[in-house]
Amino acid sequence: MNIKVCGITQLKQLQQLDGLDITFVGLIFDKNSPCYVGDKIKKIDLKNADFDLKKVGVFVNAGYDEIIQTVEDYGLDVVQLQGDESADLCEDLSNDVEVIKAFKVGNIKISIDELVADYDEVCDYYLFDTYTNIEIAGTTVKKFDWKLLSKSKIEKPFFLSGAIGVADVAKVKAFKHPDYYAVDINSKVEKTTGVKDMGLVLQFLQGLK
């Protein structure tokens, strides 16, 4: 199973995660987020780092120029669009970089398939997170009902996200869907905001084996 650790704010922790079986790391570029990385890791250090893992820049309602400039400045491999970005923006970005379009799932009145329909041809991955009234990346505190995904076709690789931690390993392993591609962990494996507890990350990894 592919694993994404999101909300990284330290270059040292990036290096540590690169030594583990981690496929993606999330770096949040929303200035409203407590995990905003723009003033914590130098552009040149991140761009020149030789990692096997993919560096994912997380954005919330940023414009094309801002996103592409950040991709260039930090040497990002993937962008994750966490806000209300249009399908047109996803399509424009997908010509230059891999795109994850995130969707917040709560008490939605339409199906998951209807929710993602406009984005089917314009991004590389979906990510399903918990709906919250707080529009800040990296602050999810609870899980949504994963059965909503099980009922859907989706037909694109997707990340399962939203308050997932060590206590959820059995549930993560039991979840089934033909397009289930990766699990995203963040706040439930932290010591403090933006600083991961590597012991918890290792427990999570070992539990998935």
pLDDT at site 8: 97
Per-block mean pLDDT, blocks of 10 residues, the chain (209 long): 96 96 96 94 96 97 98 98 97 97 84 95 96 52 85 95 95 96 96 96 95
Identify the DSSP state of 126: E
Amino acid found at 165: G
* pLDDT at residue 143 in the model: 82
**Cβ atoms of 13 and 199 closer than 8 Å:** no
Per-residue confidence (pLDDT) for residue 132, from 0 to 100: 64
Q: Which CATH architecture has domain 2-208?
A: Alpha-Beta Barrel (3.20)
pTM: 0.94
Query: What is d(CA 37, CA 185) in angstroms, rounded to the nearest whole number?
Result: 17
Quick one: tokens of 204? 């999570």
Q: What pLDDT, on the 0 to 100 scale, is given for residue 110?
A: 85
**What pLDDT sits at residue 109?**
77
Give the number of other CB atoms < 10 A from CB of residue 132. 15
